[in-house]
Amino acid sequence: MQPSSSTADFTQLGPWADMPAAQQPDWRDHAAYHAACQRLASAPPLVTASEIRRLRWSLSRLMTTGALLLQLGDCAESFYECAPRHISEKLRVIDELGDRFSELTGQSVIRVGRMGGQFAKPRSQETERHGTLIMPSFRGHMINSDIATPATRKPDPRRMLWAYDASEKVQRAMQTHRRGNGRTATMEGPWSSHEALVIDYESRLIRRDPDTDDLFLTSTHLPWVGERTRRPADAHVALLSSVMNPVGCKIGPTANPDEILRVCEALDPRREPGRLVLIPRMGRDRIQEVLPPIVRCVANAGHPVVWLSDPMHGNTVTSRLGLKTRHLTDVITEALRFRDILEENGQHAAGLHLEVAADDVTECIGGSVENEDELQRHYTSLCDPRLNVDQAGELIEAWAKGTAPGS
Ligand code: PEP
Ligand code: CO
């Protein structure tokens, strides 16, 4: 699949160009902006149309086969963790947890990494506090630096090119790894995924498949639209609705059925199995009230969606010392409630979307991290608190048993 001249025109003139787009970096006046966009528009695809079709096909079979999906990785991927040793650690963790999920449930598990492009973060606050200083928020390495000075926090469009290069390294390693896993029927993946947040970047990596004339987003296999950017009439949904990839959509605690139906209609107008992955992230308590009517409406409207639980983003709290954290007990409770709600409504609970670190971090409370005082021991996340592998293993075990540990 090669970039064609019509691709560049299309991405300039994509229907989303004039639509509202939340969470975009203010960098159009930067001297490097146009050159960066141009280079992306003629860059080779990072993933292929045939890989994307393969993942869509696998997702379309989930509902009938009862297979599961496990999507996991960093909240914010780092430019400094794309060397071979970092990538192989992350892939090892995906394999280990995917195998565990498969063994405990007796189902095959499609594995998807939050990696190979997860470099841009939506933020609720424009600024963040560092000691006595107030700085612009960190927005992911595709946009600005994690180093907190006014200069390094300025959005820099050249970062889109660095994100492309970093993604390429990760994607190549994932491709090699998939070839090894492909020898086993129950070990599909790992495929790549990230939040399609920066419209300047994503729109320039859309390519037309000359064999079918279809458009594909070639920055990743499974892009998703976040809770803050999923408005049906906005640019992010329009961009994802124009491509053939399977697409995800987060659903937060304030969502209502009408709004989600409009998102489904935009992203899955033809009601195709394997196209749309809906990812509730409502919080341990809110999920009980908010999710059931949404599940029923989506099912009644005939959208054959893959339902995935993100039990992390609705359960974030701030510890006494000011660190963001999550309690594993809350995470497990939300995941089990999700499963029950889906099953009570006759739908397949397809699995989990998690933030998990490859090394032994102390960012969430639970298991070996007994209390808030232990959080500082090894807290390295660039953004949200991640589970360590043991904590993720406990969650997967609870899902498989259908009960929380100790109950
Ligand atoms: C995330 O997945 O890191 C994220 C920001 O999610 P959400 O859009 O659900 O808040
Ligand atoms: Co996050």
Question: For 273-302, what is each residue's pLDDT tens digit?
Answer: 999 999 999 999 999 999 999 999 999 999
Q: Which of 195, 282, 326 to mutate for ligand 1's pocket (most ligand atoms within 8 Å of CB)?
A: 195
Query: Percent of the chain beyond pLDDT 90?
Result: 90
Q: What is the pLDDT of residue 9?
A: 44
* pLDDT higher than threshold 50 for residue 3: no
Q: What is the pLDDT of residue 187?
A: 78
Q: Note the pLDDT tens digit of each residue in 187-220.
A: 798 999 999 999 999 999 999 999 999 999 999 9
Catalogue the E-assigned strands of 281-381. Answer: 306-309, 316-318, 324-326, 349-355
* pLDDT higher than threshold 60 for residue 7: no
Question: Which atom of ligand 1 is closest in space to residue 229's alpha carbon?
Answer: 8
List all residues 6 or more positions away from 90 whose beta carbon is below 8 Å from its beta carbon: 73, 113, 115, 358
Where are the chain's structural domains?
Answer: 48-119+161-401
Question: Which atom of ligand 1 is closest in space to residue 384's alpha carbon?
Answer: 3
| Element of type H or E holding 160 | helix 158-181
Rounded CA Rg of the chain: 20
Q: Note the pLDDT tens digit of each residue in 297-324.
A: 999 999 999 999 999 999 999 999 899 9
DSSP secondary structure code for residue 115 in this structure = B
Q: What is the pLDDT of residue 178?
A: 95
Q: What is the pLDDT of residue 2?
A: 46
Higher pLDDT, 64 or 242: 242
* pLDDT higher than threshold 90 for residue 157: yes
Q: Which CATH superfamily does the domain covering 48-119+161-401 fall into? A: Aldolase class I (3.20.20.70)
Mean pLDDT to the nearest integer, 3-14: 50
Global model pTM greater than 0.85: yes
CA-nearest residue for atom 6, ligand 1, is 226
Q: What is the mean pLDDT of the chain?
A: 95
* pLDDT higher than threshold 80 for residue 56: yes
Q: What is the pLDDT of residue 12?
A: 55
Mean pLDDT to the nearest integer, 19-42: 96
List all residues 6 or more positions away from 341 whose beta carbon is below 8 Å from its beta carbon: 287, 288, 291, 292, 295
The closest ligand to the CA of 114 turns out to be 1
CA-nearest residue for atom 8, ligand 1, is 226
* pLDDT higher than threshold 50 for residue 222: yes
User: pLDDT band at 97, cuts 50/70/90?
Assistant: very high
Q: What is the pLDDT of residue 185?
A: 66
Q: Is the dihedral of CA 212, 218, 221, 224 positive or negative?
A: negative
3 CA from centroid of ligand 1 (Å): 31
Mean pLDDT to the nearest integer, 93-118: 97
* pLDDT higher than threshold 90 for residue 251: yes
Amino acid occupying residue 121: K
C-alpha to C-alpha distance for 267 and 132, rounded to whole angstroms:
44
